């Protein structure tokens, strides 16, 4: 199987403490891969490290993306290679209209038509006529901003979309839509790395990995990993006795 | 109102029209006699056109023009009134004294473009007294275009009275070209059931200096107001914002909101002041000064933009 992303022994420390303790992970081409784990397991840190955000520079290990080590590349360079990130709490942009925001990611693909922008909004269940000219700012609810963030991933058409808890701030009814959206990203040619707590999203993945205390404990069938997380991890106080990495 | 047609001053007209266009204005509106308009270059009135319901009086002075603009009682002017003030030469003084009256139950929108494209040693002063009558409405948008030299002082000063049920909305924008020195000084007295919203947006560069002084006195019951200031400064520019709202009457509501983005060696100061002497009034404020939000920049970079382009989009959005 060919891998779009391969992490080897990724280590990141903060204030002398290892936040990522040697992460090893492989994400297949056009694979939906869920990262499951408790709060504080290092899931979001892993997402930020992969995107190359400031303050998340790893000190050891490699990030092989599409056959190339991208560890030394800037955020922009990684994005232009085809990696992007949807934040758990999307940024607010005062004065920036939704239509302009959705067009930004498509610049690298030769631009985008108005109809394609509208279609991306429809896919996240937002009416284009209502949202195209609104600001990506204060007046939108958390759920609306989340959907617009996901729409911006659709218009960008990345090779790897990292979605940091796309379900947070979204009601239970809408979970199906998120799952459907993730499938759409895959059908459009993207691999998707999803950070999530939700079994529903994990179950729709091709593969899942369980993260605990800054390391991947195990990877495999998403249903089994979800069950393991529910039955073994939630009751476990891993902070007292960190598990060994398999 | 007599109509002065564009005439022998054609070169000056041509220059000021070009500057007006550069400032974002549509020159065609200045020649459309269905629209009220006024064009002043230096101390010359190049054209003036009134329409039904508008009384426009003007008098050329040594260094500028005295203007009295009255919207007659009950008239809702359907199309905006276009104003163009400017000075094309690289030096000079322009003093505009404006007396504006919106009589009871009238409504009008004024769109002003102030253009100083070649300014190297120019002073533009505006002293305005504005009266928004009972249940009248004024929307006033003022956009400046200054060119690249920075040798300009812009000194707009206005006192506005909003009578019962009146509304006043103003949007002052100076984001194209160099600011030079700006001292913006507006004060408002808001009476019962009136509404006031003042927005200023300024982008300072190089050694520009920006001083924004705004004061709203909510004197009447249920008077409501917002002061909103958006400043971006870079290089060695300096800005000072002072926004005062006073709540003097029951159920008066006011808010002061200042956001400043600084880059380079720029220096910014923001002082929102709220004063309340009526227990049923409420005035709030917020002020933030800082660099461009890191998450916003990184989000746009994660969509493939270079950092400088991301910052440019964010700043322009804030000033839009």
Q: Do A76 and B306 touch (CB under 8 A)?
A: yes
User: Shortest Cα distance from A242 to chain B (angstroms)?
Assistant: 32
pLDDT of residue A241: 52
State pLDDT tens for residues B229-264: 999 999 999 999 999 999 999 999 999 999 999 999
Using CB atoms, which residue from B259, B298, B319 is nearest to A53? B298
pLDDT of residue A157: 94
* B224-233 sheet: strands from edge to edge: B44-49, B37-41, B81-86, B107-115, B137-145, B167-176, B195-204, B224-233, B253-262, B282-290
Using CB atoms, which residue from A90, A107, A135 is nearest to B304? A107
> Above 50 in pLDDT, residue B275?
yes
pLDDT of residue A229: 86
The residue ranges of DSSP E strands in chain A, in sequence order, are: 3-14, 17-28, 32-37, 60-65, 68-69, 83-86, 160-164, 191-196, 207-212, 215-220
> Above 50 in pLDDT, residue B3?
no
Alpha carbons A54 and A62: distance in angstroms, whole number = 17
Size of interface A-B (CB pairs under 8 A): 63
Q: Do B295 and A91 touch (CB under 8 A)?
A: yes
Using CB atoms, which residue from B298, B304, B317 is nearest to A108? B304
Q: Point out the residues of chain A with pLDDT beneath 70.
A: 1, 172-173, 234-246
Q: Do B304 and A85 touch (CB under 8 A)?
A: no
The answer to which of A70-79, B17-26, B124-133, B223-232 has the lowest mean pLDDT is B17-26
Mean pLDDT over B157-179 rounds to 95
pLDDT of residue A69: 95
pLDDT of residue B247: 98
Q: Do A104 and B318 touch (CB under 8 A)?
A: no
A61 touches chain B (CB under 8 A): no
Alpha carbons A205 and A194: distance in angstroms, whole number = 9
pLDDT of residue A233: 72
> Above 50 in pLDDT, residue B1?
no
The answer to which of A23-27, A106-110, B105-109, B302-306 has the lowest mean pLDDT is A106-110
pLDDT of residue A20: 95
Confidence check on the interface: ipTM exceeds 0.90, yes or no: yes
Q: Which residues pair with A7 in a beta bridge?
A: A25, A63
A51 touches chain B (CB under 8 A): yes
- Residue percentage of chain B with pLDDT more than 90: 78
Identify the band that residue B4 occupies on the pLDDT scale cut at 50, 70 and 90. Answer: very low
State pLDDT tens for residues B21-71: 877 778 788 778 888 999 999 999 988 988 999 999 999 999 999 999 999
B129 touches chain A (CB under 8 A): no
Q: Which residues 48-87 of B are in CB contact (within 8 Å) with A?
A: none
Q: Do B313 and A104 touch (CB under 8 A)?
A: yes
Contacts of B293 in chain A (CB under 8 A): 91
Using CB atoms, which residue from B301, B316, B317 is nearest to A79? B301
């Amino acid at each position: 199987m060919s891998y779009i992303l391969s992490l080897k022994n990724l280590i990141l420390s903060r204030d002398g403490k290892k936040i990522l303790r040697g992460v090893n992970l492989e994400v297949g081409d056009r694979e939906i891969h869920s990262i499951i784990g408790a709060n504080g397991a290092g899931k979001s840190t892993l997402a930020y490290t992969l995107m190359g955000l400031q303050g998340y520079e790893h000190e050891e290990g490699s990030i092989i993306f599409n056959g190339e080590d991208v560890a030394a590349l800037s955020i922009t360079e990684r994005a232009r290679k085809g990696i992007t990130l949807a934040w758990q709490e999307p940024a607010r942009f005062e004065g920036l209209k939704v239509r302009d925001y959705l067009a930004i990611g498509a610049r690298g693909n030769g631009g985008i038509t108005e109809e394609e922008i509208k279609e991306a909004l429809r896919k996240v269940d937002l009416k284009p006529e209502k949202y195209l000219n609104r600001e990506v700012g204060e007046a939108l609810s958390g759920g609306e901003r989340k959907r617009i963030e996901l729409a911006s991933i659709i218009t960008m058409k990345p090779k790897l979309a990292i979605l940091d808890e796309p379900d947070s701030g979204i009601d239970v009814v809408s979970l199906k839509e998120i799952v459907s959206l993730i499938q759409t990203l895959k059908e459009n040619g993207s691999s998707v790395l999803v950070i999530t707590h939700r079994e529903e999203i994990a179950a729709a993945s091709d593969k899942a990995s369980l993260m605990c205390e800054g390391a991947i404990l195990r990877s495999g069938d998403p249903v089994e990993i979800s069950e393991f997380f529910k039955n073994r991890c939630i009751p476990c106080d891993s902070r007292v006795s960190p598990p060994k990495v398999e | 109102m007599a109509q002065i047609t564009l005439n022998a001053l054609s070169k000056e007209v041509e220059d000021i029209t070009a500057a007006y266009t550069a400032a974002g204005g549509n020159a065609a509106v200045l020649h459309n006699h269905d629209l009220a308009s006024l064009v002043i270059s230096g101390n010359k009135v190049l054209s003036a056109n009134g329409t039904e319901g508008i009384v426009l009086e003007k008098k050329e002075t040594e260094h500028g023009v005295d203007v009295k603009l009255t919207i007659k009682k009950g008239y809702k002017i359907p199309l905006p009134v276009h104003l163009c003030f400017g000075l094309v030469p690289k030096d000079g003084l322009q003093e505009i004294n404006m007396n504006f009256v919106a009589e009871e139950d009238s409504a009008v929108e004024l769109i002003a473009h102030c253009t100083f494209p070649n300014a190297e040693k120019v002073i533009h002063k505006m002293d305005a007294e504005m009266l928004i009558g009972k249940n009248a409405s004024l929307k006033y948008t003022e956009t400046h275009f200054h060119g690249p030299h920075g040798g300009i002082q812009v000194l707009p000063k206005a006192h506005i009275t909003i009578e019962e049920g009146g509304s006043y909305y103003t949007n002052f924008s100076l984001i194209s070209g160099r600011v030079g020195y700006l001292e913006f000084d507006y004060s408002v007295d808001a009476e019962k059931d009136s509404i006031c919203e003042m927005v200023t947006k300024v982008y300072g560069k190089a050694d520009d200096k920006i001083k924004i002084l705004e004061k709203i006195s909510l004197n009447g019951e249920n008077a409501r107001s917002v002061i909103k200031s958006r400043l971006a400064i870079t290089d060695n520019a300096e800005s000072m914002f002072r926004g005062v709202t006073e709540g003097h009457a029951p159920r008066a509501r006011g808010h002061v909101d200042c956001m400043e983005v600084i880059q380079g060696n720029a220096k910014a100061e923001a002082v929102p002041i709220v004063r309340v002497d009526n227990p049923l009034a409420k005035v709030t404020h917020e002020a933030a000064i800082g660099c461009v939000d890191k998450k916003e920049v990184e989000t746009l970079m994660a969509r493939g933009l270079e950092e400088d382009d991301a910052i440019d989009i964010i700043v322009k959005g804030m000033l839009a």
